[in-house]
Amino acid sequence: MKIKKIGISFIMMAAVLFTAMPGFTSRAEEEKLSIKINPVGEIEVGKEATLQVDIENISEETYEANVVQILVSDDSKTVAIENGWNIIENDAVSKNYGEHDGGDPKAVLKKDMAPEDKITFEVTGTVEKEFDETNPFHVNVRVKSDASTWTSIGYASYESNAGDTAFEGTFTPSELTVKRGEEVEIGVAVTNTTEEEVDALSFECSWTASMMKGAWVDDVKPALTWKKELTPEGKLVLAADETVEGTLTVKIPENATPSWFEFGVDVYSGTEEAGDLKTYFSGSARLNMEGGVLNPYPDVKVDNGDEKGDWYAEFALFMLEQGIMTGEDNGMFNAGREMHRDEFVTMLYRFDGEKEVAYDPEVFPDVEDGLFYTKAAMWAKESGVVEGYADGNFGVGDAITREDMAKMLLGYAKHIDFELAEEGDLSKFPDADSVSGYAVESMKWAVGNGFITGDEGNINPQKYAERGHCAKIMTVFVQKYMGL
């Protein structure tokens, strides 16, 4: 079978394709940009690759410069991209959060984008590992009109494909806001763009969510059906240039905590075990939950329009959704409880990705093996985030002071090469002289970057930090790092 050798690139233009279903508010109605992503030249391992991004305003609205954000991310599981993807500035886009290790590069428009306007820019990155049709990499481009939300007005994904085929696909809608507990139907259309019939195609759907750790989520079971008769073995057959339509049916449990879910559809042949796995199509649609994150904490009150919520509510829920900070064993958040040193370092460890580390009893004599903070403490010492006390102990069970928290956070920022050069003026606090010598640099840095503010007019460096304040400080740090 001769198959045309090109890459996969598909466009999600739900504003054009979507017909509203009763009872649902579609984010896809706001999806007003057509996005295409294509490689510039060959992509080779060890060499810088370039992708061209073309965006067209297909709506009747004008999007103001420096408001619309463009984010580029890489969701590959097995292919490493050196320093992520770097947005190249030109006369259309201005980079304000560039190449780095982790997070999403972000740019903003330099000028307003009126109806029918088109812009083009490039992103570059170096693929460090071998890739092929069974081990591709993906690059996603998401355009947002509001930095405080994940809601997009345009989205597209590119999948490298060193194999011999390419399919195109659409989701209708590609993004939708729904209520928990209600069933949703999403249209799927896949087109065989090759020159020959492709048979023996298997298919499956999967899901991911804004939070996968510490989430209250019953099993989500999406169902995928096609409007074409399958082979007796349950396979798809697509002739050249043929399009097959299907339906992805999803019901989000009423107790689902995450603020969004993404449902992926893969069409492929062969198996990984046999070594002949070939992906023909891989795409996803997004469901945003009405009301955002579901608050699981009985002792956390959120704004409901009529009554103001707790000041720490948004930070507690953001930390929960990121999988960085969860509730107590009794289900409460306990914002006023003092945070322990081992708990705070565990938050940093979770945000860092929980890399595997070996236990060594000589690192910190007071850290035992097999406890929730053991690996975090080992990692923190190995990474230079925490030195420990003068007696060699970590300080397990000790409440963390504001200045020690600032020192750990600065240590982590240095570990990930996250440059925040702002230095605050401690002299504006009457008790500035009470900051310990080892913590002066950290406290200036924390104050200058807005992580620590005054406490009733003072800096109170030796005051113990409470869970609510730690949630706020980590939220500010994480959002700065993510460019939100």
Which residues lie below 8 Å from residue 359, measured CB to CB, with a gap of 6+? 369, 374, 375, 378
More confident call, 44 vs 358: 358
pLDDT score at 75: 56
- Sorting pLDDT into bands at 50, 70 and 90, what band is 104? low
pLDDT higher than 50, residue 324: yes
pLDDT higher than 50, residue 29: no
Q: What is the pLDDT of residues 35-85, one digit of tens each?
A: 888 888 888 888 888 889 999 988 888 888 777 777 776 655 445 555 567
pLDDT score at 213: 54
Find the mean pLDDT for residues 276-303: 87
pLDDT higher than 70, residue 22: no
* Domain residue extents for the chain: 32-164, 165-294, 313-482
Q: What is the pLDDT of residues 369-415, one digit of tens each?
A: 999 999 999 999 999 999 999 999 999 999 999 999 999 999 999 99
* Range scoring the smallest mean pLDDT among 7-11, 181-185, 284-288, 480-484: 7-11
Q: What is the pLDDT of residues 119-166, one digit of tens each?
A: 999 988 887 777 766 567 777 787 877 655 545 677 777 777 644 446
Question: For the domain 165-294, what is the CATH superfamily, name and number?
Answer: Immunoglobulins (2.60.40.10)
Find the mean pLDDT for residues 424-440: 93
pLDDT score at 76: 55
pLDDT score at 385: 95
More confident call, 79 vs 230: 230
pLDDT score at 307: 85
CA separation, residue 311 to residues 305, 316, 328, 464 (Å): 15, 10, 19, 19
Q: What is the pTM of this model?
A: 0.62
More confident call, 16 vs 437: 437
Find the mean pLDDT for residues 355-366: 94
pLDDT score at 78: 46
CATH class of the domain comprising 32-164: mainly beta
Q: Are 132 and 43 in contact (CB under 8 A)?
A: no
pLDDT higher than 90, residue 230: yes
